[in-house]
Amino acid sequence: MAEPHKIMTIFGTRPGAIKMAPIITAMRALPEQFEPVVVVTAQHRRLLDQVLNFFAIEPDFDLNTMQPRESLSERTSKMLHHLDNVINAAQPDMILVVGDASTTLAASLAAFYHKIPVGHVEAGLRTYDKYAPFPEEMNRRLTDVVSDLYFAPTKMSRDNLLAEHHSIENIFVTGNTSVDALGYTVRADYHHPVLDQIPKNHRILLLTMQRRENLGAPMRRVFHAIRDVVETNPDVELIYPVHPNPDVEAMAKDLLGKRDRIHLVEPLDVLDFHNFAARSYLILTDSGGIQEEAPTLNKPVLVLRSETERQEGVTAGTVRLVGTYPEEIQRAAFELLNDNREYKKMAQAPNPFGDGRAAARIVTAVQNYFDNEH
Ligand code: UDP
């Protein structure tokens, strides 16, 4: 009987953990084929740990690299250095990375230096704008240059990879594993004190906002715009899990704090966030991952950015890009609050991001890679 393949997964952020967890779970269910080795860089310590707890994942290596206010160069070089030791110690047969974080780039580069094959989960997303989102666009493009297997969530991301001359045999259209994650989290009997205090006939707007390029003036404009939407619609309640960035926290408190029907809460655990999303009427966000998750829950999304690497949602009609200026945000929010036909059109558009079976496809492709005598 052949030895199981030692597959090292390396991630460091909350979305990275949410997207890798279904793959680790799928590999654990096949112990004769796979020996998963979990490495976390803890790029986002607190936000990462709650996801690990929920999925009962205990890292084999925890680099705990995060320092407040370090530069991107410091962060990436420190991770590269630590990953060298981890790879030497564990000697994996393959390394899986996910998404577009600094961890993704550092881990794929470390794998390349050790001549270990790399599989990129969520490969092929592009804006083709070097600085938007920053540094994620370059993290994912550089990662794809050194990867061997590409797990593209959609046909559009596959086509981006083909246009960059990656070989079709190495690209697998799998769906996004964040859709798989919802299968573990969303529950019909879910309760939470914040949700329990909201009258049943009120509609919940769920907001998340934290991207680097939105800090400062864009965030201020958005908060003002959303505050107006809540004030002029008496059956609307806003829930905003505030990201633990001190600048974001201060502005949220200043512009949205202590107001009727506005609930500022701590960042929610993944179980809570997914269930809050499932109970909401409309989601406003600058997050990438939430654009993929919301259509599974049949929730329209207003994207607080002027571009997206997830164009599939725009094409399918599940999300709308509204930028960060009040006029467009308010026009779209008012329409979706008042025009039931428009609302239904968005809420019921088909989900282009997957069917919840991405992890199984990825694990099969990894097994086939070894079966084909690599
Ligand atoms: N999320 C969460 N708690 C929150 C807000 C978001 O668990 O309070 C989850 C959300 O479901 C999604 C991911 O975190 O899976 C999105 O993370 P983020 O916005 O940090 O990153 P991005 O998706 O833009 O990479």
pLDDT at residue 164 is higher than 70: yes
pLDDT score of 45: 87
pLDDT score of 123: 98
Structure tokens at 56: 């009962």
For residue 68, what pLDDT band results from cuts at 50, 70 and 90?
confident
pLDDT at residue 234 is higher than 90: yes
Close Cβ partners of 169 (under 8 Å, ≥ 6 residues apart)? none
Stretch 50-63: mean pLDDT: 97
pLDDT score of 65: 80
Question: What is the number of the ligand 1 atom nearest to the C-alpha of 277?
Answer: 11
The architecture in CATH of the region 193-347 reads 3-Layer(aba) Sandwich (3.40)
Report how far ligand 1's centroid is from the alpha carbon of 316 (Å). Answer: 22
For residue 66, what pLDDT band results from cuts at 50, 70 and 90?
confident
Instruction: Give the residue extent of every domain in the chain.
Output: 5-176+355-373, 193-347
Atom 24, ligand 1: which residue's CA is nearest? 287
Query: Residue 303 pairs with which residues in a beta bridge?
Result: 285, 321
Report the percentage of the chain scoring pLDDT > 90.
91
Atom 4, ligand 1: which residue's CA is nearest? 268
Instruction: State the greatest distance between any 2 C-alpha atoms of the chain, in Å, as a whole number.
Output: 68
pLDDT at residue 76 is higher than 80: yes
Report how far ligand 1's centroid is from the alpha carbon of 167 (Å). Answer: 31
Tens digit of each residue's pLDDT (9 = 90 or more) over 9-45: 999 999 999 999 999 999 999 999 999 999 999 888 8
Write out residues with Cβ below 6 Å of ligand 1: 14-15, 18, 178, 208, 241, 267-268, 270, 273-274, 287-290, 293
Query: Residue 118 pairs with which residues in a beta bridge?
Result: 95
The beta strands (E) that lie in the chain are given as 5-11, 34-40, 61-62, 94-98, 118-121, 149-152, 171-173, 203-208, 236-241, 262-265, 282-285, 301-303, 319-321
pLDDT score of 1: 65
The DSSP result for 123-184, as a single string, is: -------TTSSTTHHHHHHHHHHH-SEEEESSHHHHHHHHHTT--GGGEEE---HHHHHHHH
Query: 150 and 144 in contact (C-beta within 8 Å)?
Result: yes
Tens digit of each residue's pLDDT (9 = 90 or more) over 237-280: 999 999 888 999 999 999 999 999 999 999 999 999 999 999 99
43, 290, 310: residue to mutate for ligand 1 pocket, most atoms within 8 A of CB: 290
CATH homologous superfamily of domain 5-176+355-373?
A: Glycogen Phosphorylase B; (3.40.50.2000)
Query: Residue 239 pairs with which residues in a beta bridge?
Result: 206, 263
Query: 197 and 373 in contact (C-beta within 8 Å)?
Result: no
pLDDT at residue 373 is higher than 80: no
For residue 133, what pLDDT band results from cuts at 50, 70 and 90?
confident
Report how far ligand 1's centroid is from the alpha carbon of 289 (Å). Answer: 6
Report how far ligand 1's centroid is from the alpha carbon of 168 (Å). Answer: 31
Atom 18, ligand 1: which residue's CA is nearest? 287
